[in-house]
């Protein structure tokens, strides 16, 4: 998430570059497996088809640009993927608050990124940011990204993430609500 701000305009950009790179890499790997190159000669064909799911990643991952304009008192959300573009506009008067949600996610891997042994539970924690309208609509500031971290990193990032929420709220002139869902298990 990149934030740029002038006196009257704040922009929040969430790029899909990493998703596109991952999708292309998966697609290339799938093609290499399906063509049975010498490296992948013994690999099952269905594995190649599974990696071709990278095409779907490339098609549907989206970039989001949010423009908050004080002069016009509007929030404009422009999102685009290869298959779809959309623009939504909200008036400041329709926006109730910035909501910073903290979540807990069960992980199948440990810190060394190896499989967790049976009976071992591992969790990561993360943040999501939303502008909430008075009608209960959620305007996702992060563009659908749900990034999680080990607990020590999560705790160190708390002040930084709180500052992001505070900056957006102050710019619009609305409050921040922190929703702590870390005691619940989010899948």
Helical (H) or strand (E) element with 131: strand 122-133
Q: If pLDDT is split at 50, 70 and 90, which confidence band does 184 have?
A: low
Which tens digits make up the pLDDT trace of 13-29?
A: 887 777 788 888 888 88
Going by C-alpha positions, the residue among 172, 187, 23 that lies closest to residue 92 is 172
Question: Quick one: pLDDT at residue 112?
Answer: 55
User: Using CA atoms, how far apart are residues 140 and 129, in angstroms rounded to an integer?
Assistant: 6
pLDDT at 107 over 70: no
Question: Quick one: pLDDT at residue 187?
Answer: 44
Question: Quick one: pLDDT at residue 94?
Answer: 93
All structural domains of the chain, each given as residue ranges with its CATH number in brackets, are 2-16+62-186 (2.30.29), 19-57 (no CATH)
Question: Quick one: pLDDT at residue 186?
Answer: 45
Question: Quick one: pLDDT at residue 151?
Answer: 75
> What are the phi and psi torsion angles at 180 (to 5°)?
-100, 105
Against a cut of 0.85, is the pTM above it? no
Which tens digits make up the pLDDT trace of 25-77?
A: 888 888 888 887 777 777 777 787 788 888 888 887 888 899 999 999 999 99
């Amino acid at each position: 998430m990149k934030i740029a701000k002038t006196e009257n305009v704040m922009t929040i950009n969430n790029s899909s570059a990493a998703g596109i790179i991952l999708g292309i890499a998966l697609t290339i790997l799938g093609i290499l497996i399906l063509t049975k190159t010498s490296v992948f000669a013994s690999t099952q064909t269905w594995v190649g088809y599974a990696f071709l799911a990278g095409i779907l990643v490339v098609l549907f991952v989206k970039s989001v640009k949010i423009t908050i304009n004080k002069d016009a008192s509007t929030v404009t959300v422009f999102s685009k993927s290869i298959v779809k573009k959309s623009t939504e506009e909200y008036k400041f008067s329709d926006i109730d608050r910035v909501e910073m949600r903290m979540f807990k996610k069960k992980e199948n891997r440990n810190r060394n990124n190896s499989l967790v042994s049976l009976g071992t539970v591992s969790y990561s924690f993360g943040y999501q940011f939303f502008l909430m309208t008075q009608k209960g609509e959620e305007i996702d500031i992060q563009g659908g990204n749900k990034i999680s971290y080990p607990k020590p990193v999560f705790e160190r990032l708390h002040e930084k993430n709180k500052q992001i929420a505070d900056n957006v709220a102050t710019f619009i002139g609305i409050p921040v609500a922190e929703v702590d869902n870390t005691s619940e298990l989010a899948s």
